[in-house]
Structure 1
Amino acid sequence: MIGKNLISGFASSGVTALLGFLFVPLYIKYLGIESYGLIGFFATMQAILALLDMGIAPTMNREAARISVLGRRIELGNLLRTLSVIYWIIGTLVLIVIIALAPFIATHWLQSSGIDSTQIIRSIMLMGLVFFCRWPIGLYQSTLVGMQRITTASFLTIGMSIISNFGALITLAYIDSTIEAFFIWQALVALLNVALIHWITWGRFKEKGTFSIQSLKSVWKFSAGMSGIAFSSIFLMQLDKILLSKMLSLKMFGYYSLAVIFAGSLSILIGPIFNVIYPRLTALVAEDNEKKVFEFYMVGTQILAGFIFPAAFFLAFFSEDILYCWLKNPTTVAQVAPIASILFVGSVINGAMIFPYALQLAHGITRLPQIIVLSLIGVYVPLTYFLALNYGAIGGALAWLILNALYLFYGPWLTHKYILKNSAMRWLCQGVLQPAIIALIATFLGSYFLREVDFHFQNILLGCSIALSLILINYFLLPKPLRSKLNLLNRVFRG
């Protein structure tokens, strides 16, 4: 089941990322980099507004996994009905507020020299409509993931991504090449998406559930804890973009947003893995089998790190070649590549931390991630402001890298004071640093001595060869006899 879910998650993320790679250059062609900056601003705004989730979606994921194991489907239906009502109320209020604040945002926050303020105001209002239509999707996706219906959720995501991107391109190319037309299409697709996932999710229940205050009371403590984590985590993840959207011109913010999109390709690897390991760890913790929890935790981390670090360092050291083949625009590549390279390194460190984070949530200990994130925010705010003020977009990326380097050492130390005690150094050195250092040295040397200027496609093939070789090397460095490695992998992913 885990292997099937993992493949489904990879397929969903992979297709979504591939579509982004195919269509982003075309969006920039029809809209321009400044209008693309508005798309980047919407992505930031949408991430910030996710704070209003108040921990509901991750709580639903956990409860769906837990209650499904116990077979209490009616209780789960009541909880979903209750939380969905809350979701729709929040979405309506947000839409009203965004429409009201649109003129202020357009004239006092965003800095544009090439787009009329009236057009920006209309675009921001449409952003509110898109958010309203997309908002409940996360709740239903979390329910399906928690119920181990990741394949269903993945196929729906793939379908909607195809419709969203192809439809937007047709709209821009043949109907209206304005940013308003782009957001109108996104709103229509989001409305179709939420209708379909609502129907699919409730199709898993024999009874449709009723609104229940008791259901809300049963999860409010965990949800409140997750809300605190979400608030601090999203603030942490979006701080650079919040500051840079104000400090940079809309054009430069467009370049930074493009770098963020490019660096976000790592989520193809990391996102689906978390969606699989979190419910699995939750189930193992519920069985009260610490030995199995520790084995899954350690072996999973080693496999993850041995895969994502070679991939990330390939993307970082060969970013210029990849971007040139992707965008075909030397000016844009020169602006985006240095930012993206730094973001990749910071993001892969952050990705390695999904196992400690999932372990904390599986034990229901929301206090630990709150403490960790709030501590990091105390460092990140002044660091980001100082570096962004002095170095602009590059400074924002550097702050992200430094932050995650601190997180890598601080997070496991605090986690293993309370869970799987005295495992921090083993997890860090054996699970993360060993594959990371091997990948860093090998990829740096390969790019420094073998990379050829202006031979972009050949350089990409070189980088891929290095990354694939490193993945194999890290796999065979797993601390088990060679003949037992396949059995170990099967145990981890078969569950």
Structure 2
Amino acid sequence: MIARNVLANLIGMAISIGVQAGLAFGGYRLAGAEQYGLIGFFTVMLIAAAIFDNGLGQTVTRAVARNQVEAPATTSTLVFSFALIYLALACLLILAVWAAAPLLAAYWLKPQHISTAEVRECLVLMGFAIGIQRVRGIFQATLEGLERQVLSNLLLSASGLLRLTLGLGALALVAPTAEAFFWGQVIASVCESVTFACVVGRVVPGALRPQRPEGGLIWQSLRFAGVNMAAAATGTLVQIADSLVVSAVLPLAVFGKYSLVSTMCSAMVRLTAPLITASFPRMAAYVRAERVAELRRLFFTASQATFALMLTAAGALVFFGEAFLELVSGDPAASADFAPVLAALAIAYALSGLCRPSHALQMAEGDPATALRINLVTGALYLPAILLLTPRFGVMLPALCLTGANLLAFVLFTATAFRGRLRGEALRWLRSSVLPQAAAVAATYAALRLLSEPTLPLAARLAIAVAASGVALGAAALVSNHVRPPLLQASRRILSRPRPRPDSASATLS
């Protein structure tokens, strides 16, 4: 089941990244840098609102997964009770954005050709789109806890394609403005949340029927959820603080370019979602059943696959970032200027993604407090630095500071992840799941980068980059002792599958 869920998550992730790339590529080209700055600010707010999924959503997934072991009959009550919490938080989010919109439009963002009234209206629409979309989180978390991830990814892919169609369609057919884009996102959010609710209502009968909330079930998860949401909030603040500071101190057009680069890099972290989403419910079940050997094998496998994907993606943007940025923006001069920023952010986001397996292990063991402490430490060092230095040194400084903060977070997550059921496995994990993958990917990109001269046409440089990414991913998989065997077995099955002989039909007729 895990393999099937990973495959479903990979397909869903590929479609999701395609949608994100399409929105970034089309949005920037159709709306221009300044209008895209508002769309980029919407992306930042979406990431901030994702603490529902990273905090409360993980709590729901863990609770539903544990319920399948202990008391499956209470799942409908659990889902209904958490749905009420989600609805209340979504309403609070919408009201908070509506109340803050005049201040943000007048004092935070720095538009040059967009009126304050238009910015305010866009911010209000952002709040509605984000709040409505967050309601989906309770239903998505329920499907993930039930390990119905094929169904979840099918719904996410369909809603993502709808979001892409409505967003770019509004820009192309209605008006090339952020306001038109956000109206499309509001409609997409309504369709998405209603569809997820209807599906969960069928999968978990009675989950949407009005009933008395079960206080005992909620109370059992309340402390875990509170600490987890606090950890998610501090971690998210560290990840988006650079965008918040750039949007506040630099012109909106500059922030639009920085947001485009940041969006390209944040898509990398989503590469971890298929593996972590599929592995986390099973990790929680293994912890509950004290099946340490299976837990260790699953954690090592998820780590090796995560590192192979993340390092490959980061290497592509570090070594070939200027070519990818030129493809997306269509502006060679801006691509050359922002290529160093893209490289620094690629490393920063890769380090963030590399923390995910260790964080998932801590969450499965019921320890969200460690992530909270780590985020507080990194935030205490990182936030003052970018607040004080960004106005003086520009957009490169936040990218470098984020890289340092995420490097510290990776060290701390690694140092604390092996204090529980996998105590004593840290060095073996580093030797098998970190160092071989890093060496294989770095050597591959360094060798193939020599073939890509700046004078080559863009298409040729992109072709070399894609080829290098494929070779690097293959090399990383081959040096991963937990990932390599199943891949080789699958390859053998495909190659040894019997093929029908061309003359079999004629022989039968004769």
TM range (shorter): over 0.9
Cα distance in 2 for partners of 1:149, 1:197 equals: 12
Secondary structure of 1:318's partner? helix
In the other structure, the counterpart of 1:180 is 179
Cα distance in 2 for partners of 1:483, 1:339 equals: 38
Q: CA RMSD in A?
A: 2.4
- Distance verdict in 2 for CA 1:321–1:50, change over 3 Å: closer
Shift of 1:215: 2.3
CA-to-aligned-CA distance 1:263-318 (integer Å, 9 cap, x gap) = 12313421111111111211221221112211222233223323331232023211
Further displaced range: 50-59 or 112-121: 50-59
**Aligned partners of 1:54 and 1:228 also within 8 Å:** no
In the other structure, the counterpart of 1:382 is 384
In the other structure, the counterpart of 1:8 is 8
CA-to-aligned-CA distance 1:165-202 (integer Å, 9 cap, x gap) = 11222222222332212111110111111111011012
In the other structure, the counterpart of 1:451 is 453
Shift of 1:54: 9.1
Cα distance in 2 for partners of 1:212, 1:459 equals: 59
Cα distance in 2 for partners of 1:468, 1:53 equals: 31
Structure 1 or 2, whichever has the larger Rg, is 2
CA-to-aligned-CA distance 1:363-396 (integer Å, 9 cap, x gap) = 1112221222222112212333355233321111
In the other structure, the counterpart of 1:126 is 125
**1:254 maps to which of 256, 262, 287:** 256
Further displaced range: 15-24 or 476-485: 476-485
**Aligned partners of 2:441 and 2:472 also within 8 Å:** yes
| Letter in structure 2 aligned against 1:265 | A
| Letter in structure 2 aligned against 1:215 | L
Further displaced range: 45-54 or 230-239: 45-54
Cα distance in 2 for partners of 1:55, 1:310 equals: 28
- Distance verdict in 2 for CA 1:166–1:430, change over 3 Å: same
| Letter in structure 1 aligned against 2:277 | N
CA-to-aligned-CA distance 1:126-168 (integer Å, 9 cap, x gap) = 1111122112111111111111111111111111111121122
In the other structure, the counterpart of 1:493 is none
In the other structure, the counterpart of 2:416 is 414
Residues 411-490 of structure 1: matches in 2 within 5 Å?
Answer: 411-448=413-450, 450-479=452-481, 486=488
Cα distance in 2 for partners of 1:198, 1:173 equals: 31
Secondary structure of 1:112's partner? coil
In the other structure, the counterpart of 1:311 is 313
Cα distance in 1 for partners of 2:448, 2:69 equals: 48
**Aligned partners of 1:38 and 1:254 also within 8 Å:** yes
| Letter in structure 2 aligned against 1:466 | A
In the other structure, the counterpart of 1:57 is 57
Further displaced range: 462-471 or 257-266: 462-471
**TM-score computed with the length of structure 1 as normaliser:** 0.92
- Distance verdict in 2 for CA 1:77–1:420, change over 3 Å: same
5+ long unaligned stretches in structure 1: 491-495
| Letter in structure 2 aligned against 1:219 | S
Cα distance in 2 for partners of 1:172, 1:450 equals: 35
| Letter in structure 1 aligned against 2:314 | A
**Aligned partners of 1:360 and 1:415 also within 8 Å:** yes
Cα distance in 1 for partners of 2:484, 2:126 equals: 53
In the other structure, the counterpart of 2:501 is none
Shift of 1:419: 4.2
Cα distance in 1 for partners of 2:18, 2:464 equals: 21
- Distance verdict in 2 for CA 1:52–1:207, change over 3 Å: closer
**Aligned partners of 2:345 and 2:403 also within 8 Å:** yes
Cα distance in 2 for partners of 1:488, 1:378 equals: 47
- Identical pairs, percent: 22
**Aligned partners of 1:312 and 1:348 also within 8 Å:** yes
| Letter in structure 2 aligned against 1:60 | V
Residues 101-120 of structure 1: matches in 2 within 5 Å?
Answer: 101-120=100-119
Residues 46-445 of structure 1: matches in 2 within 5 Å?
Answer: 46-51=46-51, 55-70=55-70, 72-208=71-207, 210=211, 211-445=213-447
Secondary structure of 1:165's partner? helix
| Letter in structure 2 aligned against 1:36 | Y
Secondary structure of 2:113's partner? coil
Further displaced range: 28-37 or 436-445: 436-445
- Distance verdict in 2 for CA 1:175–1:307, change over 3 Å: closer
| Letter in structure 2 aligned against 1:46 | L
Cα distance in 2 for partners of 1:229, 1:488 equals: 39
In the other structure, the counterpart of 1:28 is 28
Cα distance in 2 for partners of 1:167, 1:421 equals: 50
**Aligned partners of 2:110 and 2:252 also within 8 Å:** yes
**Aligned partners of 1:13 and 1:267 also within 8 Å:** no
Secondary structure of 2:205's partner? coil
Cα distance in 2 for partners of 1:329, 1:431 equals: 39
- Distance verdict in 2 for CA 1:471–1:344, change over 3 Å: same
CA-to-aligned-CA distance 1:5-48 (integer Å, 9 cap, x gap) = 11211112211221332343332233221111111112222332
Further displaced range: 370-379 or 192-201: 370-379
Cα distance in 1 for partners of 2:426, 2:82 equals: 37
| Letter in structure 1 aligned against 2:87 | W
In the other structure, the counterpart of 1:41 is 41
| Letter in structure 2 aligned against 1:146 | G
| Letter in structure 2 aligned against 1:175 | V
Cα distance in 2 for partners of 1:327, 1:24 equals: 9
Equivalenced residues, count? 489
**TM-score computed with the length of structure 2 as normaliser:** 0.89
Secondary structure of 1:219's partner? helix
Further displaced range: 212-221 or 271-280: 212-221
Further displaced range: 451-460 or 123-132: 451-460
Shift of 1:121: 0.9
| Letter in structure 2 aligned against 1:62 | R
- Distance verdict in 2 for CA 1:101–1:308, change over 3 Å: closer
Shift of 1:107: 0.5
Cα distance in 1 for partners of 2:287, 2:79 equals: 23
Shift of 1:449: 5.4
Further displaced range: 346-355 or 43-52: 43-52
Cα distance in 1 for partners of 2:173, 2:164 equals: 14
- Distance verdict in 2 for CA 1:193–1:434, change over 3 Å: same
Shift of 1:64: 1.3
Cα distance in 2 for partners of 1:108, 1:162 equals: 35
Shift of 1:482: 8.1
Cα distance in 1 for partners of 2:359, 2:431 equals: 18
